[in-house]
A and B are shown apart, each in its own frame.
Chain A
Amino acid sequence: GIQVEQSPPDLILQEGANSTLRCNFSDSVNNLQWFHQNPWGQLINLFYIPSGTKQNGRLSATTVATERYSLLYISSSQTTDSGVYFCAVERTTDSWGKLQFGAGTQVVVTP
């Protein structure tokens, strides 16, 4: 199956700092999503970004499909940004709603 690697595994930030999370994947994909999991377990969809660049407020993401990686940028971090960030991909040959998740990046934003 496809391998999805996220880095770093853990990140501690001071409020107001910027950060970059990385997701590498081992095969071509037709779906790539970034999620934020809150302390209650809810997975919040941040971006659907199989290629290109998108921005939503303080968050932005870039996927370079030809080089098989995606980046999630968090700017001016806030304590509410704390949680686990997951990258998930659907391999082109798998299709049909099968997302393969990375292990996640645990982010802690301190006041």
Chain B
Amino acid sequence: KAGVTQTPRYLIKTRGQQVTLSCSPISGHRSVSWYQQTPGQGLQFLFEYFSETQRNKGNFPGRFSGRQFSNSRSEMNVSTLELGDSALYLCASSLRGSDTQYFGPGTRLTVL
């Protein structure tokens, strides 16, 4: 069974731009969670989607948004990029949400 895939793997953007990251979960998994990892703040939860509905959200500004499609693939969008948004963005999939989460390889975003 294929693992969680994320595209693109690397991105370089400038301040003020917006970016869209994509995550394809393991086949059959309906829950997708997103996390941000930075050296200063560690791993922080962004949001979780299940059956196209956002069920949970972390403490991030409204510039961070996401969605999930009917095939469980998910995208997250960051608008008006700031230097502090430079991070590794990880997505994880699971069957239901409150069970084993499997992580993708991440998208490394650099904001200049």
Of the candidates B44, B56, B106, B108, which one forms a contact with A97 in the assembled complex, judged by CB atoms under 8 Å apart? B56
- Compute how far the CA of A44 lies from the CA of B55 in the bound complex, rounded to whole angstroms: 25
- In the complex, which residue of chain A has the Cβ closest to the Cβ of B88? A41
Q: How far is the CB of A31 from chain B (nearest CB, A)?
A: 6
A86/B43 contact (C-beta < 8 A), A41-B106, A96-B55, A98-B48 known: yes
The answer to whether A45 and B98 have CB atoms under 8 Å apart is no
Chain B contact patch, size range: 20 to 34
A37-54 residues with Cβ-Cβ distance < 8 A to B are 40-45, 48
Inter-chain CA distance A98–B48, complex, in Å, is: 7
What is the total number of residues of chain A having a CB less than 8 Å from a CB of chain B?
24
Contact yes or no, A98 B45, CB < 8 A: yes
Asked whether A42 lies within 8 Å of B56 as measured between CB atoms, the reply is: no
* A33 CA / B108 CA spacing, docked (Å): 23
For the complex of A and B, the 8 pairs showing the least CB-CB separation, nearest first, are A97-B48, A97-B97, A101-B43, A43-B103, A48-B100, A96-B55, A97-B33, A96-B56
A: residues with CB less than 8 A from B are: 30-31, 33, 35, 40-45, 48, 86, 88, 90, 94-101, 103-104
Given A41-B105, A44-B103, 15 more contacts at CB 8 Å? A30-B98, A31-B99, A41-B88, A43-B92, A43-B103, A45-B102, A45-B103, A48-B100, A96-B56, A97-B97, A97-B98, A98-B56, A99-B33, A99-B92, A99-B101
